[in-house]
Chain A
């Protein structure tokens, strides 16, 4: 089955700076890569996703890049704000069924 590795486990950045979270996946047949944000006491919230036919996707301050050759994808958050503090998860369904395999999560801390 699919295996997803996520780094770093904790990331602390100054407000206004950029944050980058990286993930690698194992199943070369995987073609869909979502990112989720989870705040304390809430369910994961889908913030952006990318399919394997594109290399980059942007939505305001958030972008995701995909390198299918190297089997890794990254989340980029620019101009970070206090409300960006949360745990972020990358995921991939692999090439088979659609249940998502998640990374272990990155705790993003925005320092004022």
Chain B
């Protein structure tokens, strides 16, 4: 158990809908990262937040957005969902603003878009 929690575990929705995924980092960690894992694209970095501020963006679509709240939990919002958005979404956390001290992953949210 990494100490990172994610809810919900599973989410089934329809095309065109909007969903919110939630992540709580390990106690004391200030950075949160979001990753998407799919069979064709593998594990891809989406976005990083550090202490409430956006720090870095990866391959995140414009339909997706994230935020980190004062209590350091983070939410990933996915809108206008398409079939291709079906994937596992992972959140990871690290101590400082650098992910080079170790990023620790949560159990993930499995999103199915029908």
A interface residues (Cβ-Cβ under 8 A, vs B): 31-32, 34, 36, 42-46, 49, 51, 89, 91, 93, 96-105
Contact = CB atoms under 8 A, between A and B. Distances in A.
B52 to A, nearest CB: 17
Interface of B: 2, 4, 31, 33, 35, 42-48, 55-56, 58, 90, 94, 97-100, 102-108
13 contacts: A34-B102, A36-B105, A42-B107, A43-B4, A43-B106, A43-B108, A44-B90, A49-B102, A97-B48, A98-B31, A98-B33, A99-B47, A100-B103
Given A89-B43, A97-B56, A101-B45, A43 B2 contact: yes
The residue among A51, A96, A99 with the most chain B CB atoms within 10 A of its own CB is A99
A61 B79 CA distance: 45
Contact of B58 (A36, A49, A99, A104): A99
A31 B90 contact: no
Interface class of chain A by DSSP: loop
Chain A CB count within 10 A is highest, among B4, B94, B100, for B100
B95 to A, nearest CB: 12
Given A97-B55, A104-B42, A105-B42, A51 B33 contact: no
A98 B54 CA distance: 12
